Chains A and B, each alone.
Chain A
Amino acid sequence: MIGLWAALQKDLLLTWRSRARAVAVFAFGSTALLLFSFASGPNTDALRRNAGGYLWLALLLSSTLSLAESFQAEMEQRALEGLLLLPADARHLYFGKAIANWLQLAALGLALVPVMVVLYNATPERLAALVGIIVLGTAGLSAPGTLHAALAAQVRGREVLLPLLFLPLVVPVLLAAVKATGFVMHGDPMGQLGSWLVLLAVFNGIFWPLCALLFSRVVDE
């Protein structure tokens, strides 16, 4: 646990030092939400109905930027290789990075909610439940996203490779998060919210340990 905490501290410190990039990612997500409203046209009902989907699409697109950035500092001067040679446990390094990415994505998701409310006039009925879905959904993006960002960071064409590998894999997260968000925004008369949350939880339960196991294979020569 000491190693994991040390790795997390390092990643949170790196995130804090590069906070200007987080602002840029938030601006990107907000712009995406704005563009979706233009693409949908002036139909306020359609905007409100699809607000959850747009929120998660904006978050997903922003996450590819944020995840790729998270390995920028690791590749400069080969700092990650240096930690592996110390030798640090690769699983600790993975969990440190993935948790830091999770916190960053969850904060981004929460910051985009007011933008969504203003642009789409879509106020969630159960705000606490929406926060829970964002926390659970961003965990599902962060686990495989961190692994794939580590993989993509080591090759040329990383900007293309990361979305190519990452986006198809997180379709279940997107689907479940959009459905669950829709239910907390517009009501859940049939009580279906729980099953989508279970899907998100199961996805996290599989991918967090699996990606931690695979991480050393990805980053170690």
Chain B
Amino acid sequence: MPVDEAAPAIETVGLGRRYGRAWALVDVSLSIARGSTVLVAGKNGSGKSTLLRVLGGALSPDLGTVRVEGHDAMADRQGLRENVALLSHYIYAYESLSALENLQVGARLIRKPADRQRLLELLSEVGLAQRADDPVQTFSAGMKKRLAFARLLLQEPKVALLDEPYAQLDPPGLKFVDQLVPRLKAGGATVVVAEHLLERGAELCDRGIVLERGRVAWTGPAERLPSEGGLIVSRTAPRAA
């Protein structure tokens, strides 16, 4: 299907998603321009991860419509997934396989070059080349996160969804993320970052969105998010009557 270059990379209208009877996202309508970088902020349980998982095709919406790169999340989920890469809280790897074997499995399944040299280069980019042949179960949490980054780079996505990319990383890892987002953007990708570190995230992004109890509570330029949106993130939730 030809993609309308002028159309937004991500468009949601009245998006709702629930777990059992609890709504995690309520009437979320967003339009994210192609090639932009967006910071999604909000307290724990505000719906950030759910939003990214719906945009990434891991969860289906219960209400509303979601289109990513022109592909509808319900009608054409496979097409959506071909254009999106999701860095999740889960590392999406087999613990008994090595880092290299995990990347080989992914590369072969999506018909990307799976030769050792190319995959070692990917692992080298994320600082795992020395441990390429070690089983993932011997990795620290930070190293597993680095492997997840390698997997994302393997996909060469048009839309990259990064859920708390700084979590569990050491200082060189934090620097890697600081460099990754501009690099993805320079490559033409649209990047959505869900992050608690507002100042750090705002430096990387053009726009900011704050979610509160599953609803969009604030949108604006990312540089104003720490001061304006940050008030929403830091305020105490009203007590239930």
Contact = CB atoms under 8 A, between A and B. Distances in A.
A97 interface: no
Interface stretch (B1-9, B53-61, B190-198, B226-234): B53-61
B95 A14 contact: no
Interface string B29-66: 00000000000000000000000000011111000000
Given A3-B109, A77-B91, A87 B101 contact: no
A14 B155 contact: no
B151 to A, nearest CB: 7
Contact of B109 (A17, A73, A83): A83
A86 B101 contact: no
Interface in A1-57: 2-3, 5-7, 9-10, 13-14, 17-18
Contact of B92 (A2, A78, A87): A78
B57 A85 contact: yes
B217 interface: no
Contact of A79 (B77, B82, B86, B92): B92
B109 A77 contact: no
Given A77-B90, A77-B92, A221-B58, A86 B97 contact: no
A148 interface: no
Nearest to A82: B92
Given A2-B111, A85-B57, A221-B59, A14 B81 contact: no
Contacts of B60: 221
A87 B109 CA distance: 8
Interface in B122-170: 136, 144, 151, 155
Interface residues of A, number: 27
Interface in A62-106: 73, 76-79, 81-88, 92
Contacts of A6: 105, 108-109
A6 B105 CA distance: 7
Given A82-B151, A221-B58, A18 B109 contact: no
Contacts of A13: 97, 101
A86 B90 contact: no
Contacts of A17: 96-97
B91 to A, nearest CB: 5
B109 A14 contact: no
B94 interface: yes
Contacts of A5: 108
Contacts, number: 80
A20 to B, nearest CB: 11
B93 A85 contact: no
Contact of A14 (B59, B86, B94, B108): B94
B53 to A, nearest CB: 9
A82 B90 contact: yes
B78 interface: yes
Nearest to B79: A87
A88 B110 contact: yes
Contacts of B94: 10, 14, 73, 76-77, 79
A13 B100 CA distance: 13
A92 B86 CA distance: 21
Nearest to A93: B109
A84 B111 CA distance: 14
B193 to A, nearest CB: 18
Nearest to B82: A87
A76 B95 contact: yes
Considering the complex of A and B, which 9 residue pairs feature the smallest CB-CB distances, nearest first? A82-B92, A6-B108, A87-B81, A88-B109, A78-B90, A17-B96, A10-B105, A6-B109, A79-B94
Interface of A: 2-3, 5-7, 9-10, 13-14, 17-18, 73, 76-79, 81-88, 92, 220-221
28 contacts: A2-B108, A2-B111, A3-B108, A5-B108, A6-B105, A9-B108, A13-B97, A13-B101, A14-B94, A14-B97, A17-B97, A73-B96, A77-B90, A77-B92, A77-B136, A78-B92, A79-B93, A82-B90, A82-B106, A82-B151, A83-B109, A85-B56, A86-B110, A87-B57, A87-B110, A88-B109, A220-B77, A221-B59
